[in-house]
Structure 1
Amino acid sequence: MKNYAPWLCAVLSGILLALSFPPADFDGLTWVALAPVLWAIWFSQPWTKREPLRLFLLGYIVGLGYFVGSLQWLTTVTVAGWLALAAYLAIYPALWALFVGLVARVKVENFGPEGSAWRKSLRNFGTAALAAAAWTSLEWLRGIIFTGFGWNSLGITLHNNLAIIQICDITGVAGLSFLLVLVNAMLAITAKRLQVEIARKKVRPHYDLTLAIALVALAFGYGARQLFAPAPESETVTVAAVQANVPILEKRDPAHEDRILKLHLDMSEKALALRPDLLVWPEAATPRPLFQDQSTWDAVRKLAEGTTADFLTGTVYFGPEGDFNSAVMLTEHAKKAQLYHKIHLVPFGEYVPMRQSFPLFAMIVGNLVPDDFDFGRDYTVMKLSSKPVKIGPLICFEDTLGDLARHFVLRGAQMFVTVTNDGWFLDSVGSLQHLRQALFRCAENKIPMVRAANTGVTCSIDRFGRVDQMLATDQGKTNFEGFFSVPVQAPKSPKPTFYARYGDVFAMLCLMATVAVVGFGFLRPGRGRRKL
């Protein structure tokens, strides 16, 4: 059984990580989920000749459990893609385990209760901080390599802890992941240290664990102070959002195009009776391109001409400069239009990477992605005519990207408006997970957000990352036909946060520290396994 214990620890960590996200949603588990595998990495017997392989496999098992479990909603789109993506993403925890095991490994002869290597608080805390920095670095890299898929980073699980997530306006979500891994590492180290000290019948003060707890308390206190601070002077913008709940196959069927447009128009008439300042339709709401199809343009223009509200919708745009997934805002009774082209496209959803140079990808995807959208280049901030407020438009997956969203704030955006279509997710937890990623854009930048989904979660989020109002049934179901109108408090003169100004600098510093330690290990005389 002893030989199996490390592998069981890795399996347990993977399961606990998966259970931390919806549908299980036991988000508090991330405070302890990595402790079992850290115990296996640091305190189980290493392999004599193939220790790096053992470490990599331990981490890979954790990653498989983590991503196979938390991304199971992808089966609504593709089972093969779900498994392939999980297999790829599992490499990142594997690399983390390899790094942590080789950098923070004690000498073999110090294993067991007689060892003293883990009784020094400063060394212990440094080891835990390095493990946290390595995990944070790899999460950040996961979000940018191959266009990035940073979905379900550890810090997302703290969404319910409104006070502690306010630290995101400095560190981004990376700071939360760092704290979680730091605590996990300190729990594993403290358990080992207590084992050693009890065997020696001499327990020392655990300043290492105390310092880790103090950092968490400091982050909580920082956030609590913000939550109780006086609210900035704001402009109230009443936003009406329409959710048509059109199934994805119907949305692609030309036979349903007229019905879909009429459905949006009919619900909009009811929403406009509430006299909003802004009416929002979701991503690609018009079945045909708004500016290229005359009948669609005539119907939308008639709607906009009959109201004082500004009108924002998602549409596809075909023009001489390219083909885009876009958002357009019509103001002054449709006399003026402001256009934003999506900057971050979803691979294998909106374009096929290397379609011409590596045709195999296109063959696998087939007719699901027959053509590619072009990438937008400009962070277009839209100006309401009904109120003196500027909007940062985000399309679908873009509200999961902190470094993208912050550029709108730097250009003066006072609130975000997301148009999305989570129809591919059907009734799975994919839409809920999408919302969880999105709310951190508000905490990072301290401005509110309104989300309009075709299917998914249509809601408003305040500047702290708290969901104010959600379009949902009494049973909590969000995939249905309807609309809502909600007042949003847009700060009149929002001051860019540290995160808005400098982006993921905390994650970059973690990466620099990690690389520096690796480099030092290779360059120092007599390099080899680090002795603690």
Structure 2
Amino acid sequence: MPDQPPAADPYAIVPTFWERQSEWVAAGVVLVLTAVLAVVSFPPYKIPEAAYAMLVPGIFWAYTRPRFKVYAWTMVAAQAVAWTLILGWLHHVTWFGLILLGPVVGAWIGLWYLAAWWTLPRMLGRPTMVRLPALLGLAGVWVLIEWTRTWFLGGFPWLPLAASQWQRASILQVASYTGAYGVSFVLVAVNIGFGAYAHRLFREGETGLRKRSQEFFLAMFLLLVCLSIHVQEAFNRVRYTVPVARVGFVQPYIPQDVKWDPAKGPGILAVLQQTTQAAAATRPDLILWPEATTPWAVKGDANARAFVESLAQTAKVPLLIGSVAVENPHAANEQWYNGAFVVDPAFGLQSTYYAKRHLVPFGEYVPVRPVLGWITKFVPIGEDFATGLDSSPLVVPLHRGALTFGPLIFYEDIYPALARASALAGSDVLVVLTNNAWFGEGGAAYQHAANSVLRAVETRRPVLRDGNGGWSGWIDEFGSIRATLVNGDGTIYFRGTKTLNVTRDARWVGRYSFYTAHGDWFVAVCAALAVFGFALLKVGVRSPE
């Protein structure tokens, strides 16, 4: 007679549906919370405090030792969803690029959670002097991932975690020593501190003084260090404020569907003339135009050059403009550059100009053209643009004397190394000329401006931003947004002009910040912390029960 299956125990406790599906319920809750917190941490949302808890759901879950595949897929999926939403403005240019780039960036950032899954359960029961270095090492891993985003596959370091705090200058000042990486490091440490404290309260069942979490205390200490630097730097700042210039910002807001249409060229010039004359009427020392403003190249097209020179002469004000340079026109070695130019009212277009150093793939050039030559650029002028190699500033003659401006064109301000090189080359002021009108009136302009705030603090240089339609304004060397161009309806997206009185802190005139002088030293420290924390967890002993 075949074996009969054992009879069911009528007294056995039958797990509920939620108990049987607890792992998947946890995965769903963590995925949603992580994605939502990540999205609202960054602009255009105004909830930067969410960045202090953005990682907590995944951290708390990792402490409970979920299965690796479930955890890994959940956290990578959460980041992929979040970054597809964060970069949603990209659909104005390319849906394919959004669908590809969002998940790739999210997955790359999501790799951090794999380190968290390995590290956090191994911290339980370990001595304090093992757990705290492990925490620092895990924060260091986040910094290493952000650093690789600056160069891997050409680099796209859009919105590091530090950018979530672009309107909270009090925590940003450490960036003048460590770069923005230091701010991200502290934010990750705070997230781990909150996660560790939550686990101690709700999972470990500790009572009394044993509820205390040393991880939380370390995170609060790091946060207080950031705040103390702010207090030191901000104290009596008004005493050191000196004027720089009255700067007129021109926002022509030229629609992208007409920008490169030759038939629309005269109309674009009329807009530039009208807005520039309006700016000149406010008696500025300098007038800014955004990126690639003119419909023809000011260097390479005689009519375009004559137009800007005549306009500067009529306005009696120097112009610092974004336009295009064509070297060796109509020759076999013709080269196009996306550049920044100075037009002097007395001497005309300066012979020296700035050429953009980091080009946009598929926008200004097609990478690996022998393979991908069938793909066309979405900027429909010329062939592939050439890459600039020089970070030397532009010298602009002003009423108070010559001033040096370090241009950054379009998204060059998301690269810390480019802004640092401009500061090292002698720039008194960084100026970002951009054309964010490609990306509609969503969050792109605000997200882009957040990166400029980080560059201001890192280099201790004021940053002037002039966009085709927004975000335009002035950020001081401490990352405080001193002015933003808005119209009567309170929107940054408009055609018009405004003149601002720009100042700077005399203590930083002709002086390099620690980060400018020493570069990415903190990245090396984070690598050492990650290795040290890993080693301690591999060979360390647990605390006695």
Counterpart AA for 1:281:
W
Counterpart AA for 2:231:
A
The residue correspondences of 1:58-457 to structure 2 (distance < 5 A) are 58-106=74-122, 117-118=124-125, 120-195=127-202, 198=205, 203=210, 205-230=212-237, 231-232=239-240, 234-320=242-328, 322-331=335-344, 333-335=346-348, 337=350, 338-359=352-373, 362-363=374-375, 371-386=383-398, 387-457=401-471
Q: Secondary structure at the match of 1:473?
A: coil
1:204–1:466 CA distance, 2 compared to 1 (3 A) = closer
CA shift at 1:530, angstroms? 9.9
1:429–1:355 CA distance, 2 compared to 1 (3 A) = same
Counterpart AA for 1:86:
G
Return the TM-score normalized by structure 2. 0.87
**Using the alignment, how far apart are the partners of 1:41 and 1:477 within structure 2?**
42
Deviations 1:96-135 (A, max 9, x none): 112222244339xxxxxxxxx3474333322322221111
1:366–1:163 CA distance, 2 compared to 1 (3 A) = closer
Please tell me whether residue 17 in structure 1 is matched to residue 38 in structure 2. yes
Counterpart AA for 1:501:
A
- Give 5+ residue unaligned stretches, structure 2: 1-17, 329-333
1:367–1:69 CA distance, 2 compared to 1 (3 A) = closer
Q: Secondary structure at the match of 2:498?
A: strand
CA shift at 1:471, angstroms? 1.7
**Using the alignment, how far apart are the partners of 1:482 and 1:10 within structure 2?**
43
**Using the alignment, how far apart are the partners of 1:426 and 1:29 within structure 2?**
26
Deviations 1:16-46 (A, max 9, x none): 1112123433221110111111112221433
- Give 5+ residue unaligned stretches, structure 1: 108-116
Q: Secondary structure at the match of 1:356?
A: helix
**Using the alignment, how far apart are the partners of 1:88 and 1:39 within structure 2?**
25
Q: Secondary structure at the match of 2:97?
A: helix
CA shift at 1:374, angstroms? 0.8
CA shift at 1:233, angstroms? 6.1
CA shift at 1:332, angstroms? 5.5
Counterpart AA for 2:103:
A
The residue that corresponds to 1:30 in the other structure is 51
1:144–1:486 CA distance, 2 compared to 1 (3 A) = same
Range that drifts further, 225-234 or 278-287: 225-234
Deviations 1:183-242 (A, max 9, x none): 111111112223455357772543332221011011111112111244546343111121
Q: Retained in 2: the 8 A contact 1:414–1:490?
A: no
**Using the alignment, how far apart are the partners of 1:340 and 1:157 within structure 2?**
30
Deviations 1:136-160 (A, max 9, x none): 1101111221121111221111122
**Using the alignment, how far apart are the partners of 1:511 and 1:346 within structure 2?**
29
1:198–1:530 CA distance, 2 compared to 1 (3 A) = closer
Q: Retained in 1: the 8 A contact 2:248–2:287?
A: yes
**Using the alignment, how far apart are the partners of 1:443 and 1:242 within structure 2?**
25
Higher CA-based Rg: 2
Range that drifts further, 14-23 or 405-414: 14-23
Deviations 1:454-499 (A, max 9, x none): 1221211122112222221233211211011111124563310011
Cα RMSD over matched residues?
A: 2.6
The residue that corresponds to 1:42 in the other structure is 63
* Identity across the alignment (%): 27
CA shift at 1:512, angstroms? 4.3
Return the TM-score normalized by structure 1. 0.89
Range that drifts further, 240-249 or 324-333: 324-333
1:530–1:103 CA distance, 2 compared to 1 (3 A) = farther
**Using the alignment, how far apart are the partners of 2:209 and 2:235 within structure 1?**
44
**Using the alignment, how far apart are the partners of 1:366 and 1:356 within structure 2?**
18
Q: Secondary structure at the match of 1:224?
A: helix
The residue that corresponds to 2:4 in the other structure is none
The runs of at least 4 consecutive aligned structure 1 residues that moved more than 6 Å come to 527-532
Deviations 1:250-290 (A, max 9, x none): 10211110110121112212211222111111111111011
1:188–1:260 CA distance, 2 compared to 1 (3 A) = same
